[in-house]
A and B are shown apart, each in its own frame.
Chain A
Amino acid sequence: MSNRVFAGLLLFSSSALAQPAAVDRSELRALQAAVAASQSAGDNAWMLVSAALVLMMTGPGLALFYCGLVRKKNVLGTMMQSFAMMAWITLLWAVCGYSLVFGPGNGFIGGLSYVFLRGVGAAPNPLYAPTIPQQTFMIYQGMFAIITPALIAGAFAERVRFRAMLVFSTLWAFFVYFPVAHMVWGAGGFLNAFQGGRIPVFDFAGGTVVHITSGFSALVTALYIGKRVGYPHEKIVPHNLVLSFIGACLLWVGWFGFNAGSALAASSLATSAFVATHFAAAAGAIAWMAAEHLHNGKVSALGGISGAVAGLATVTQGAGFVQPFSAILIGLIAGFVCGFMVVVAKNKLRYDDSLDVFGVHGVGGLVGCLLTGVFATRAVNSALKMANGQPAALGWIDGNPGQVVNQAIGAVIGIGLAVAGTLAALKIAELVTPLRMTEREEDTGMDLSLHGEEGYNFEA
């Protein structure tokens, strides 16, 4: 748009000088190309930084957050689960993952046209991000595929073999992540609100694709694999909350790449998503800490960082659709609801979702999905157009209460696929390799049993 205005001004000034012939078509084209190139440079710079930020969420962010919450004999094994996803899912993504999500396909899964990244180069893919190289878009999206299975691993922490974790995560990527990501974000996806979906779901940065899928899959793995030896009567406490603290703060920072980067451009929409993300994290932390204070008179560090992560997970779906004070409200609700799930409900239900992936990401993702249907507004995001070209009403506050139903249907489909796909992945993985460590190995710890090393060799 801006390049057209610029060219128009140029034409105008040229005619004012009564030299219309001085600007020929080739000059105009060169000018348009130069304007497009500078926009592309700005967008590409932000998207490359965003991709790096999202990778930083998994390593070291999530790796530190999780490893501090386990016992010291499992510190390396827990970090390795995140790290292995950084390496292994990257290769899967290059070979066929990107294609299965963003390659042209049907409503449920992408095709094979980008297998081995064929044709994914410097030219933009106008369907998704018209101003940046498709390769930038590809690597940015790959970082999301990495963190999602890494999140699940927190539910079965301290008791699953490394090989089993790799087999399960591979199958899970094919059964759950690739289909759901395609359905929500792929062109023609069944739930894609902007590109021909049957049920229009707004998922800006992965509330459904990342958090609902990982959170509900986490619950299934925790129930299927069973409790840790000694849980809940033995004392199983975080061995180093300092590491968790650093990890959670890295997650908070990395989340700017996750949510604001999902604008896929260095645009004002990216700014809006950045602000919403930050506000929700702050509100989530305050809400969880306030609830703790009311509950037992003390505010804990673990509560504070858990609240921030809950706020971040919950605002992910609506980050690019909601106004700043809606984001604060979303964060406050996230802090209270996720806090209740983790502190009260889980301890009553007695399942061993060891690092509370379901309570934070599953419940937060679901709440965020529904609240996006309430708070999404065209004042923030005008991408959805009516027939007359005007921005369409988005959420309930825009006068479209039906969107909450759409969001709920999207969530149910995401949950259904997550549960079914996770069960299938667990069953098949179990045929290939034992899932659980032996009781003896679990007692010794993952670091020595699985990896043959120790995290803390203070005598060395």
Chain B
Amino acid sequence: MVKIEVVIQPSKLDSAREALKNIGIDGLTVSEVRGHGRQKGHKEVYRGREYNVDLLHKIKLEMVVPAARKDEVTRALVEAVRTGAIGDGKIFVTEVLEAIRIRDDSRGESAL
């Protein structure tokens, strides 16, 4: 099993979910996060006082999938959210030791 973490632009959440649904990935955790990569922040001005906002709003998706599906899932995600501009986001893949479904105590890939 692998965990796929994806940080994307908030506006791309729907297309990412659509892409995952199309390839049969059902389990998903979504959080609102803030951060920045190489993308610069923006400037806000209130009555002449300027503030640089460098922590930007992003959406993070997390899902655990069978290791064999890693490339299929990441490819679908990249196609769904890429615009080609700075700030499109990142995907991180890590190995997962165990998964447990709390309801019936099933283990491993059958718990996904």
Which A residues are within 8 Å of any B CB, using their own CB?
232, 235, 237-238, 296, 298, 300, 302-303, 306, 342-344, 346-347, 356
Contact = CB atoms under 8 A, between A and B. Distances in A.
Contacts of A356: 47
Interface in B45-85: 45-49, 51
16 contacts: A232-B49, A235-B51, A237-B46, A238-B46, A296-B45, A298-B45, A300-B46, A302-B46, A302-B47, A303-B47, A306-B47, A342-B48, A343-B47, A343-B48, A347-B48, A356-B47
Contacts, number: 23
Interface of B: 44-49, 51
B46 A344 contact: no
Nearest to B44: A237
Contacts of B46: 237-238, 300, 302
Contacts of B49: 232, 347
B62 to A, nearest CB: 22
A410 B51 CA distance: 40
B67 to A, nearest CB: 37
B45 A300 contact: yes
Nearest to B48: A343
B47 A237 contact: no
Select the residue from B46, B48, B49 with max chain A CB neighbours within 10 A: B48
A232 B49 CA distance: 9
A417 to B, nearest CB: 28
B27 to A, nearest CB: 25
A343 B47 CA distance: 5
B1 to A, nearest CB: 33
Contacts of B45: 296, 298, 300
Nearest to A340: B48
A302 B51 CA distance: 15
A343 B49 CA distance: 7
A342 B49 CA distance: 10
Nearest to A234: B51
Contacts of B48: 342-344, 346-347
Contacts of B47: 302-303, 306, 342-343, 356
Nearest to B51: A235
Given A237-B44, A342-B48, A347-B49, 14 more contacts: A232-B49, A235-B51, A237-B46, A237-B51, A296-B45, A300-B46, A302-B47, A303-B47, A306-B47, A342-B47, A343-B47, A343-B48, A344-B48, A346-B48
A290 to B, nearest CB: 15
Contacts of A296: 45
Contacts of A306: 47
Nearest to A288: B47
B57 to A, nearest CB: 15
Nearest to B47: A342
A344 B46 CA distance: 12
Contacts of A232: 49
A347 B45 CA distance: 12
B17 to A, nearest CB: 24
A19 to B, nearest CB: 74
A83 B82 CA distance: 51
